[in-house]
Amino acid sequence: MNRVKLHDKEFEIFITYAQINENVKKMALRISNDMKNEDVLFICILNGSFMFTAELFKEIDLEQAEVTFMRLSSYSGTDTTGQVKKLIGLNESVEGRVLVVLEDIIDTGNTIVEVLKLLKEHKPKDVKIATMLLKPEKFNNKFPIDYVGMEIGNDFIVGFGLDYDQKGRNLKDIYKIVE
Ligand code: IMP
Ligand code: MG
């Protein structure tokens, strides 16, 4: 499938599942090597990161690794509202553990800043960020991101968990908007 239509917009193929898979495997290897002997809790930021989390977590080679899921939303349509809500769903004990926050994509960085701020209140030993995709243009290197799968341009994308008004999350490949 080279093109898809979701609501009123057309999208064209941009990153194939094979490319995503290759990047995610490399990331999982790096994280597994870096986190040896740590008590690691992976935190999936719902909804967009669910597929990335599944792909990454099965490649994590750490016997004690755990995963949990949290929710927070900042996007409506193709434009950020800038209004980040609070975190829901963190029931695990976080104190003294190494947290790896899993994001689908970092655009302005507002979401991840808010997530970090809220997680740090729970006194973890350390918090690392792993994002499948990064849009460097708006993020502008505000702070270092520990693990980045791939950098992309400013285009709006869907697929592999990412949505356009809730549509397109099921697409196995990633598509970008046709302007
Ligand atoms: P930020 O707060 O601007 O960094 O945006 C991060 C969140 O916005 C991500 O977790 C996504 O859910 C969403 N987002 C950013 N860019 C896109 C995109 O191109 N397509 C779909 N969702 C996006
Ligand atoms: Mg998201």
pTM of the predicted structure, to 2 decimals: 0.93
Q: Which has the higher per-residue pLDDT, 72 or 44?
A: 44
At residue 18's C-alpha, the angle toward residues 138 and 178, to 5°, is: 45
Q: C-alpha distances in angstroms, 9 versus 39, 45, 150, 164, 168?
A: 44, 26, 24, 9, 11
Q: 179 Cβ partners below 8 Å, 6+ apart?
A: none
Which atom of ligand 1 is closest in space to residue 110's alpha carbon?
A: 2
Q: Which helix or strand (DSSP H or E) is residue 17 part of?
A: helix 17-34
Q: Which has the higher per-residue pLDDT, 4 or 37?
A: 4
Question: Among all ligands shown, which has an atom nearest to the Cα of 115?
Answer: 1
pLDDT digits 0-9 by tens, 102-157:
999 999 998 899 899 889 989 999 999 999 999 999 999 999 999 999 999 999 99
Q: Which has the higher per-residue pLDDT, 89 or 175?
A: 175
Task: Considering only CA atoms, give the Rg of the chain.
Answer: 16
- The pLDDT assigned to 171 comes to 98
Q: Looking at ligand 1, which residue's alpha carbon is closest to its atom 16?
A: 107
Beta bridge partners of residue 111, listed in sequence order: none
Separation of first and last alpha carbons in the chain: 19
